[in-house]
Amino acid sequence: MGEVYFLTLHEAAMGGMEGGGRYLIDNNMRKEIIIGTRGSDLALVQATATEGLLRAAFPDVVFRRKIIKTTGDRRTDVSLANVAKAEGTFDKGVFIKELEEALSDGSIDIAVHSLKDMPTVLETRFAMVATLERAPVRDVLLTKGGVGLEGLGIGARVGTSSVRRAKQIEFLRPDLVLLDLRGNVPTRVRKLAEKDEYDAILLAEAGLVRLGFLPETAPEGEETVIGHPNVFASRLPENEFFPAAGQGAIGLEIRAGDADSLAFAKAINHPETWTKVTAEREFLRLLDGGCHTPVGVYSYLDGAEISLFARVFPDEGGTPRIGEARGTDPIKTALQLFNSLT
C-alpha cells in the first residue's frame, strides 16, 4: 500500500509530497468530493482512472461520481464544428458547458475532461489545476483495407469530426474526400466496420487504447482493432500528422478558490504531463485558438528541456505555417514557438 503521509491542505495544494503512497488529511478538509464526468465510454474510463488515483491517495475520503450530459453529447444532428454555433455557445467548449454549470452550482467539485476538448482560456470562476499521466498522443487511421494514409485510393472517403484532422488530410492528401463523423469511439469504429459509408476514419490513439481497441504498444507488422478483425490500424507519427494541444491528457477542473478540491487534484497531478500541456495550451492561447482551431502541436521532454513543434492551418485551407522551439520554461517556450511561425 506504500507509506502513509500526513498531508496538510497547503502541502496538497502545492502538489503533494514526494514518494507517493497514501495521505492523511487535516481535519479542516472536506471528507466527500463529487467527481463530474460525461457519460461516454471513454469519459467513464477517464473518470474511473481519476477516482482510482484519488481513492488510493486518500483512503479516508469518499469520492462519488455524477454523470452529466453535455451539449456535445446531446447535439449529434450537426457536425461537431457547428454544435457551438447551433447552440449559441460560440466561446465555450461543447463538451464542458454543463460540467462547468455543475461546478458553479456546487453539485460537483472536480470535473474530469479530455484536455483537448477544453478551451484555452477559462472563465475566472474556474481553473484547470491538474493532469493525469498522458496516454499516447498520436492520431490513428482506421481502414478496412489494411493500408495507411499513403495507400488510400484517390477519392477514398475519410470520416472525422475534427477540423484539425480534416485540414491535415487536405494538406497531405488533397485527393481524398472528407465526411463528417459523429458518435462516441465504439460507435465510430462500428460505423467503419459494419457500413460502407467510410473507407477510413481518424481517431485519437489515446481513446482507442483506453477503451481496449488497441494495445498500448503497437505490435510488429499488421495491426487490427481488437474485436473488429476487419478493421486495420495505422498509428500516424506525431511529427508527420500533428496531434491536438493536450491530446491524450486527462484534465481536472475545479471552482476557482476551492482550496480542498485544489488540494486533492494537485496531489495526483503528473508533473511531466502538466509541463507539456501547459506549453501546448499556452501556444494555442497566443494564437487566440480554441479546441476547434485547426492547429497541430506536440511536445517532448528531454530532461528539463521541452521541445515544441506546431503546424497552423489557415481557415480557408492551403499550406500551414510551421514552427519549433526549445527551452526549459513552458510558457516562454510557447512564446518562442509562436514567434517562430513561418
Spatial contact of 270 and 131, defined as CB atoms under 8 Å apart = yes
Spatial contact of 110 and 261, defined as CB atoms under 8 Å apart = yes
Residue 290: the pLDDT is 62
Residue 8: the pLDDT is 52
Residue 145: the pLDDT is 85
Catalytic residue from among 41, 73, 117, 139: 117
Spatial contact of 289 and 38, defined as CB atoms under 8 Å apart = no
| 19: confidence class by pLDDT, cuts 50, 70, 90 | very low
Residue 150: the pLDDT is 93
Per-domain boundaries in the chain:
4-132+247-269, 139-236, 278-340
* Strands 200-204, 157-160: pairing kind: parallel
Residue 20: the pLDDT is 55
| Cell, residue 67 | 454523470
DSSP class of 110 = E
Q: Which residue has the cell 498500448?
A: 216
Mean pLDDT, residues 211-230: 94
Residues contacting residue 187 through CB under 8 Å, at least 6 positions apart: none
Spatial contact of 328 and 304, defined as CB atoms under 8 Å apart = yes
| 308: confidence class by pLDDT, cuts 50, 70, 90 | very high
For the chain, what is the mean pLDDT? 88
User: What percentage of the chain exceeds 70 in pLDDT?
Assistant: 86
Better-scored residue on pLDDT, 9 or 73:
73
| Cell, residue 342 | 513561418
Return the SS3 of 27.
Answer: coil
User: What percentage of the chain exceeds 90 in pLDDT?
Assistant: 74
Say if residue 85's pLDDT is above 70: no
* Strands 110-114, 32-37: pairing kind: parallel
Given this structure, which CATH class describes domain 4-132+247-269? Answer: alpha beta
Q: Which of 202, 163, 166 is nearest to 293 (CA)?
A: 163
Lowest mean pLDDT among 68-82, 133-147, 189-203, 265-279: 68-82
- Is 278-340 the same fold as 4-132+247-269? no
| 95: confidence class by pLDDT, cuts 50, 70, 90 | confident
Say if residue 3's pLDDT is above 60: no
The DSSP string of 241-302 is S---TTTT-EEEEEETT-HHHHHHHHHT--HHHHHHHHHHHHHHHHTT--TTS-EEEEEEEE
Contacts by 79-83, CB closer than 8 A, 24 or more apart: 79/161, 79/180, 79/182, 80/161, 80/162, 80/180, 80/182, 80/292, 81/161, 81/163, 81/292
Residue 330: the pLDDT is 98
Say if residue 121's pLDDT is above 50: yes
Residue 1: the pLDDT is 38
| 74: confidence class by pLDDT, cuts 50, 70, 90 | low
Q: For residue 302, indicate whether it is catalytic.
A: no
Pairwise CA distance, residues 202 & 242, whole Å: 13
Given this structure, which CATH class describes domain 278-340? Answer: alpha beta
Spatial contact of 210 and 250, defined as CB atoms under 8 Å apart = no
Burial class (CB in 10 A: 0-12, 13-18, 19+), 6: exposed
Mean pLDDT, residues 86-99: 63
Mean pLDDT, residues 34-51: 96
| 144: confidence class by pLDDT, cuts 50, 70, 90 | very high
Mean pLDDT, residues 184-208: 96
Q: Give domain 139-236's CATH architecture.
A: 3-Layer(aba) Sandwich (3.40)
